Amino acid sequence: MTTSPRTGTDDGVLGRHEHLPVGEPGAHAGAGIDGAGFEGIDRETIEDVRSVAGRIGANVERVLVGKPEVVRIALVTLLSEGHLLVEDVPGVGKTSLAKALARSIDCSVSRIQFTPDLLPSDVTGVSIFNRSTGDFEFSHGPVFANLVVGDEINRASPKTQSALLECMEERQVTVDNTTYLLDRPFMVVATQNPIEMEGTYALPDAQRDRFAARVSIGYPDPSAELAMIDEHSGHDPLTELGPVSDAAQVRSLIAATSRVFLAGELRRYAIELVGATRRLAELRLGASPRATLHLVRAARAHAALSGREYVVPDDLQAIAVPVLAHRLVLTPEAAAARRSPGELVRALLGKIPVPHAPARR
Which residue(s) pair with 112 in the sheet? 150
> pLDDT: is 231 or 296 the higher one?
296
| Length of the chain as a residue count | 361
| Residue 229 reports pLDDT greater than 70 | yes
At 13 the pLDDT is 44
| Residue 2 reports pLDDT greater than 80 | no
Please write the tens of the pLDDT for every residue from 121-140: 999 999 898 888 888 889 99
- Identity (one letter) of the amino acid at 307? G
Please write the tens of the pLDDT for every residue from 27-78: 333 333 344 444 578 889 999 999 999 999 999 998 888 899 999 999 999 9
- Cis upstream peptide for 185 (omega within 30°): yes
Q: Are 193 and 152 in contact (CB under 8 A)?
A: yes
Domains and their CATH numbers in the chain: 19-41+259-361 (1.10.8.80), 60-240 (3.40.50.300)
User: What is the pLDDT confidence band of residue 358, given thresholds at 50, 70 and 90?
Assistant: low
Please write the tens of the pLDDT for every residue from 138-171: 999 999 999 999 999 988 888 888 889 999 999 9
Q: What interhelical angle do 313-324 and 341-351 show, nearest 10?
A: 160
At 176 the pLDDT is 86
How much is the pTM? 0.84
